[in-house]
Structure formats: structure tokens, C-alpha cells
Structure 1
Amino acid sequence: MFDVDWMGLLTREVLRERGAALIAESCAWAVGLSDQPHHERRAGRLVATGLTVGERAAHGRPLAGEEDGRLELGDARPGSFQDALNMLGADGRVQAERFDDEVLVPFVADTCRLAAERARTSRRAAWEELADDLGEDPRDLLDVVRAGGWEAPLRIDAEHLVLAALGTVPLIEVEAEGLPLSLVRAAEATARAAAAPEPAPVPDDSLAGALFLARAALEESGCTVPVRPEEADLLLVALGDNGLEPDEVTAVLPHLPVEEATISRIAATLAAR
């Protein structure tokens, strides 16, 4: 029986070090909950109560119902962050499930990764022995972490940490604390979406034969890959020698490792014929 306890202790140590960051992420996640319509389950049906979550909290009424929610989140102070975690969303899910998926799971995974990096650096021999016991490559940190099973118990520790800090705090105060970071996260998401590359074009099934010939022609042509503009004529000759018609050349070029300038030059050559 191998001993992995030292690694479990290290993950908890790193979690404690990152406690402030976890609280900040939790506050940022909560931003906007008060503005959402409040729902509850009546006679087994999910219905809107006609108030927003914030309005219901302001009236001192519980956000979570008795039919749903997690037992460990019960007996929460009405309108508190813990109460909000235990309430239902418009999709019928308890908000705590969303919090797990969107905050705790990724945060704990990152914490375990950081702990693994520290272990590999500061306790190299022990780390390699541990990876060997788990049947994993010590260079593959995430595989070792998954095999070690440290994430599940650490998520429980992370949840306890959040509830100890924010559980009894009114939701509106948690949201106010998290607003600056939530704006940063929203800006980051917008930037990622703007920078996302366009998906590569998917070849039409009808081009399968022409694409096969084109790839063979490219390989036989001796052109560098991706094909530069100065080799456009060489590639065009090779494609023609392999039996591709001009319209087929135009159709297959976007699916070959060819620079955009090369495609433009070949298109201009074909248009001039």
C-alpha cells in the first residue's frame, strides 16, 4: 500500500495559500444573482414567484425551498450567500451545482496542478516514486493528479472554506465585493471570444477524390510546407499534372497547407488564363 498522504497535505496547504483568491472568485461568481427571477417548486412544479432574488431577500424571505437543496446548506440565514447557493435556478438546478461546476471544480483542479508542480520541484524523488506507484508518467502532472484522487476531498475543503467566509454574509454584500473581479472576468471572456480562430474549412465529400490527388501532387512537387507565394506556379503545375481542373484547384487549395498569399496568386493566374 503506497502512501500518498504527503501529497494530500500539500494540496490542502496550497489551497490555504490560495484561500483569498477562492473567496474573490466566489464573490465574482455571485454577481448578478440578485437580479435573476426567483423560482421555487410548488406541488412538484418549478414556478416563478414574481420577485427577483434580490427583492425576496430584501423582504427577509428564504431563497431556498424545503423540497430542494442540499442538506448541508440547510438552515441558512434568509438572503445570505449560503441561502442563495441552495435556491433553484430557472433550469431547476440548485445554484450550488452551478457553483461547483463553474468555481470549485476548476479552482481545485488548478490548485492540484500547482501543488503537483511544487512537489515535482521540491520533492522530485518522492514525486517520481509516487507517480510510479500510481502507474503514471511523472512528467504528466494532470494524469498523476487524476490517479491520486486528491481533487474530490479538496473540493470539500474548498466548499467549507467558502462557507466559513461567506456563508452568513448577505448575498447583496457578496455581490458588491465581487463586482470588480466579475468585470475583469467578463472582459477576459470577451477577449478570448474575439481571439478565437475561425474553424478550419471542412472539405466537401465530393472533393475527396480531388483532394487526394492534390495532396499527392503537393508531396511530389517538392514545395515547402506551407507553400509560399514564390512557389505558387510550381504547385499549380503539379496540380495540373495530376489531372486537377482549374475549378477543382480553387476548391481544394483552402484544405492544403498553403499560405493565403499563395492561394491568391494561384487564383489570379487561373483567372488570367
Structure 2
Amino acid sequence: MRISYISACAAASTALFDLVLAIPTAKDSTAKRGIMIKRAARNDLTTNFIPVFKDLTTAVPVDTGLISSDTHDTYDPVACATVCLGLVDPECVFFNIFVLATPESDPASVNTCQYYSQVFGIADATVADDGTPEHTISQSSGYRKIPDSTEFTEESFNDASIAAPASDNDPYMGCTKSTGTTEITKDDCIAKCVAKTQDNSKNHVSADNTYRPCNFVNVYQNLLDGEPDGWSCCYYTQSYGVEYATNKESWDTSDPKRHKTKANSYGYSLEPQLGADGVVTLTN
């Protein structure tokens, strides 16, 4: 199967189809291409990917991170997701699907998917055409593979938790708490953080086509009069550094008053962050 995609150095006079490659099949030499593909079952898109933009008239450039590209008979993000999951060396973590108008050809438009080894956001979708006005892009949508714990960077806050500053976009997304000596691990926290993003991107997109992603978690141990009193994991739409770790101690209202402190506090930030300022904007 022959596939076409935008030249990495597209000048105004460069044809859109200058760069032509083939996705390897079982009969191809994957070593020759430096691309490894494994079989991937057709999947539920929302199980494996998060939308980062939708229905734009611009696409992501191909000069960084492009693995491969292909075309499909229909506009089918699930089919593109299945191909992306099958690209493992290098790993596909993002794909951009769009309709490319080709009025001089038959058919007059092509459903194109581009697969990348790095993630992008709406601000990165800057390619409108290749300098040929007829070669326009529409229905451009980008999907990021669900992140795992390796994509969250760690920072120690020692005996303090995050006090997020006031913001027009409320960054706080709630906390999960345990009791006694039951620990909430960083993997537990990150998994719940990712699940919040999945749920919001699927079920809680606002009327202005935005949703709240979980980009940061703060996990810490609670102490009551110096004794273990469970763990907390708090979720935020954006990351905060050690300068915001100012919550250290408090006293409850019991009689006698009991001293509440924290220990083993860590922050985990998704890199790169989803959206900007704690909001994912799907359309311009």
C-alpha cells in the first residue's frame, strides 16, 4: 500500500505528495524501514487515546517525530488508533487524522492518518496546505495515547503538600484518601488521574469545546500526633513545584486538640502537559 504525507520541509511550491513511503506489511523488511509493527485488534478509541484537538483546518507538521502515514477509505479515527497501537518501534503515542482535498485526483479527497513518536497539542497544528490552495485540510483531529506512570516526572515536597493558588480555571480536582497505615501508591494516584482525564474528555466536554485534564498529582502520608493516619492523593489540572508546597501542619477541633502533619510528600507532573493553563481546548 502506498501512502502520502506532507514534506518535512514543505515550501510554497512543494507538492503535498513529494514524500511517499510504505507502511511495512508481513512481507516487508521492517529492519529496512526502521519501523516495527505488531498486530493490533480494532479497539475502542476512548480506552486507549485522549483527544487533544478536533475538527481543525490545520494539521501537525511532519518535521518532528513522524513515524509513518496512511490513507483510509473512510474517516475513521478508530482505524487510525488501531494502526497507532501496532507501531511499536518506534512507539506511536499520537496520531493526527484529517481530510485532504485533492480536487485534481480521483477521489477528490483523501482520509489521511499521520503517526508520531511524540505528542502534540492544538498549538502545534499549523499546516493548512503545501502552498497549493486547492490542497486544503479539514476535520483535523489529534489523539494522544493514554499516558502511563513513566510520563509523570517526580518532585519531592518532603513534609508539605500543595497549596494551589487561586485561578480563573479552578485547578483542584479532588483528593483520594485512605485510613490507618493503608498506603496509596504513586501508580494508584496516576491511574486515577488518567481516569479523570479520560472521563472528562469523553463525558464532560463543555459547550465551548473544552475539558479539564488531570496533569498533576500530589501524594503524601498523613500523620496524627506523629502516628500514621492514612495517605492522600490530590489531583490538579496543572502542575505545581516545590514553591507551592506550603501546607505543613494544622490542629483539629477536638479536645484535647490533635496535631496533623504530613510526610513523604511527592508531586508527579505529566510531561508534556495536556492543554494550556489547565484546560484542553479542542477547537479554535
Larger radius of gyration: 1
**Class of the TM-score when normalised by the shorter of the 2 chains:** under 0.3
